[in-house]
Structures are given as C-alpha cells and as structure tokens.
C-alpha cells in the first residue's frame, strides 16, 4: 500500500477493531439490495455532506404512501461505517472513493453495484468574492497542462496511484500573502492526515492553485458542517473537501468551476 494511504488505513483499522470489540458479529442480515429498498430503512451519512442531503429526501417522502426512513448523521464517515457493521443502521450513503477504502478494509461490507448519484466537486468561496475568478483562472491552466489529472491519478487508480506526486515549482514568489483552506481531513483520498500533515487530492490541488497565485497555503481541519460558515465569516478564504455544488449551498457561498466528477454509492453489509 502506498505511503500516503497509511494514515487512512490506520483509521480504518481502528474502525475494524472497535467493531470487533463492540460485537458486530451479531449484526442482522443485509436488507438493502438497491436504491428501491431505501424507503423505511435506517440510513447513515456524514453530517452536512451531499449524502446527507440526498438521504433527507427519504425522511419526508413526497409520496405519503412511501415509508419514512430514519437518517442517522455522524461527524465522520468512519463512524457511520462502524454503525453499519454493528447493525445500528442498514446502509451508508457516501462518496465512492472513501467507500472503496472502507470496503477494502472490511470484508463484511460491500458497495452496491448501481451508483446512487453523480456529482461535481468544486471549491467554495464567499459570495461575490473576486477570489473565485482567480481560482478559476488557475484551475483552467492546471487542467490544460495536465496537473489536475496528475494530482487525481496520484491518489486514484491502481495503475497510477502514487506515481505522479505534485511538486511545487522552485523559485515561486509568494509575496501575495496566504490562502487559508477549510477542509475536513477524514475523507481519503481527497483529504486525510499523514503524520502531522493534511494530504490528498484537495490539498495538492489547493497547493497548485496557491503556487499559481503566488501565495502560501494554510490548511485548517474542521467538521465538514463548519466549512461553509468558516468561508462565510472569513475564517477561511475557501473550502475544499470533496464538496458538491448544490442549490442549498449556493444560497450561502459561490462555487468555482468543477475540478472532478464523483459518484455517491451505498455501502451495505455483505451478508
């Protein structure tokens, strides 16, 4: 396993150990085999994520004849996965890449074959902040020269994982100040902690953007649900955390152009 996944794997191992000592072996059999089975089920999500937004539709279905689901919201995706292993919930809705990591470390879990939803990830900034245009310009250049693809390939894909790390160019004048990024470092491979450093796709992309803008980068780790408030208040200049553009979020913040497309999936018990 590549070096940059050691921290993520350690966290996943902790999930497995906690589940074992909590007696997850007695968890009930799986009852979710497709999206059609979600009504009436207990659904686990990470608080404030797109999965949370999607799952809320099952709490108050438009069709009154449809059973209402119970949505359990957790601060971390790993906590939702542990609850699934323990039989406290029936499934977890989460991004495909973290889902793959969880399932790879938990043989009693699986991902349903059919994707739940497709979504575009982007960077959020405060409303009417001119930084949005600057980031978009930098993103456009980084897409054109292949940097964005190399950053993503460095973390996703068996053939390229770990082979294309992002190096900041030498001799950059960082006289333009410091960019502060708000994130939630519990979302490998987009952001996670390795040693004492936050790494991942979003961290590398933010560094590449800062390099383009002649600025230093500072990353602040916080709860996912606090990121938009941090950007609104000016505590952070932007938020990058595998964040999807949604109508609800657009009320509070602006988003840059998308830098990647991801998939929401459903994790269930394997038996």
Identify the pLDDT of residue 25. Answer: 54
Any domain includes 268: no
Q: What is the mean pLDDT of the chain?
A: 90
Q: What gap in Å lies between CA 90 and CA 84, rounded to an integer?
A: 6
Identify the pLDDT of residue 193. Answer: 95
Same domain for 189 and 138 = yes
Higher-confidence residue of 203 and 48: namely 203
Any domain includes 260: no
Pairing of strands 70-74, 42-46: parallel
Identify the pLDDT of residue 80. Answer: 96
The answer on pLDDT for 26 being more than 80 is no
Arithmetic mean of pLDDT, 264-270: 96
The closest alpha carbon to 116, from 8, 14, 37, belongs to 37
Q: What gap in Å lies between CA 269 and CA 256, rounded to an integer?
A: 37
Q: Check which CATH number belongs to the domain holding 210 and give it.
A: 3.40.190.10
Same domain for 114 and 8 = yes
Identify the pLDDT of residue 162. Answer: 86
Q: Are 47 and 74 in contact (CB under 8 A)?
A: yes
Structural domain that includes position 242 = 123-255
Any domain includes 58: yes
Any domain includes 270: no
Q: Please state whether the predicted TM-score (pTM) of the whole model is above 0.85.
A: no
Task: State the number of CA atoms in the 13 A half-sphere of 223 facing the CB.
Answer: 9
Can the peptide bond before residue 48 be classed as cis, meaning omega within 30 degrees of 0? no
Same domain for 82 and 63 = yes
Arithmetic mean of pLDDT, 98-115: 94
Last residue of a domain, one of 72, 90, 118: 118
Q: Are 87 and 24 in contact (CB under 8 A)?
A: yes
Q: Which residues of 191-220 are buried (b: 16+ CB within 10 A; e: fewer)?
A: bbbbeeebbbbbbbbbbbbbbbbebbbebb
Same domain for 250 and 210 = yes
Q: What gap in Å lies between CA 65 and CA 139, rounded to an integer?
A: 46
Q: Which residues contact 269 (CB under 8 A, 6 or more apart)?
A: 27, 28, 29, 30, 84, 85, 87, 108, 109, 110
Identify the pLDDT of residue 49. Answer: 87
Domains of the chain: total: 2
Same domain for 154 and 114 = no
Same domain for 130 and 237 = yes
Any domain includes 197: yes
Q: What is the pLDDT of residues 50-63, one digit of tens each?
A: 899 889 999 988 88
Same domain for 135 and 67 = no
Q: What is the pLDDT of residues 206-263, one digit of tens each?
A: 999 999 999 999 999 999 999 999 999 999 999 999 999 999 999 999 999 999 998 9
Same domain for 243 and 224 = yes
Same domain for 104 and 165 = no
Identify the pLDDT of residue 160. Answer: 79
Same domain for 163 and 111 = no
Any domain includes 249: yes
Task: State the number of CA atoms in the 13 A half-sphere of 14 facing the CB.
Answer: 9
Any domain includes 216: yes
Query: Phi and psi dihedrals of 91, rounded to 5?
Result: -165, 170
Identify the pLDDT of residue 6. Answer: 42
Same domain for 24 and 105 = yes
Same domain for 248 and 154 = yes
Any domain includes 160: yes
The answer on pLDDT for 15 being more than 60 is no
Q: What is the pLDDT of residues 145-186, one digit of tens each?
A: 999 999 999 998 877 788 999 999 999 999 999 999 999 998
The answer on pLDDT for 17 being more than 50 is no
> Quick one: pLDDT band at residue 119, thresholds 50, 70, 90?
confident
Q: Supply the angle between the helices 96-104 and 77-85 in degrees, to the nearest 10.
A: 50
Q: How many CB atoms lie within 10 A of CB 75?
A: 15
Higher-confidence residue of 12 and 87: namely 87
Last residue of a domain, one of 91, 118, 145: 118
Distances from the Cα of 41 to the Cαs of 119, 217, 226, in angstroms? Answer: 23, 43, 28
């Amino acid at each position: 396993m590549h070096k940059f996944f050691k921290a993520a794997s350690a966290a996943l191992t902790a999930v497995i150990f906690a589940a074992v000592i909590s007696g997850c072996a007695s968890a009930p059999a799986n009852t979710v085999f497709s999206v059609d089975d979600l009504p009436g089920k207990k659904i686990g999500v990470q608080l404030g994520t797109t999965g949370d937004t999607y799952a809320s539709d099952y709490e108050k279905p438009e069709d009154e004849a449809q059973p209402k689901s119970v949505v359990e919201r957790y601060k971390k995706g790993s906590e939702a996965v542990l609850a699934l292993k323990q039989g406290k919930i029936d499934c977890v809705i989460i991004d495909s890449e973290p889902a793959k990591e969880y399932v790879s470390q938990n043989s009693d879990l699986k991902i349903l074959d059919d994707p739940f939803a497709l979504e575009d990830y982007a960077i959020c900034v405060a409303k009417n902040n001119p930084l949005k245009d600057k980031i978009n310009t930098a993103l456009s250049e980084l897409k054109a020269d292949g940097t964005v693809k190399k950053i993503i390939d460095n973390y996703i894909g068996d053939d390229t994982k770990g082979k294309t790390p992002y190096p900041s160019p030498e001799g950059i004048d960082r006289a333009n100040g410091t960019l502060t990024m708000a994130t939630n470092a519990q979302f490998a491979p987009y952001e996670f902690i390795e040693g004492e450093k936050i790494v991942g796709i979003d961290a590398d992309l933010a560094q590449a953007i800062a390099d383009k803008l002649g600025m230093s980068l500072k990353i602040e780790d916080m709860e996912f649900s606090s990121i938009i408030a941090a950007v609104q208040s000016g505590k952070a200049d932007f938020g990058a955390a595998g964040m999807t553009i949604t109508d609800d979020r657009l009320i509070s913040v602006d988003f840059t152009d998308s830098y990647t497309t991801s998939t929401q999936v459903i994790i269930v018990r394997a038996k």
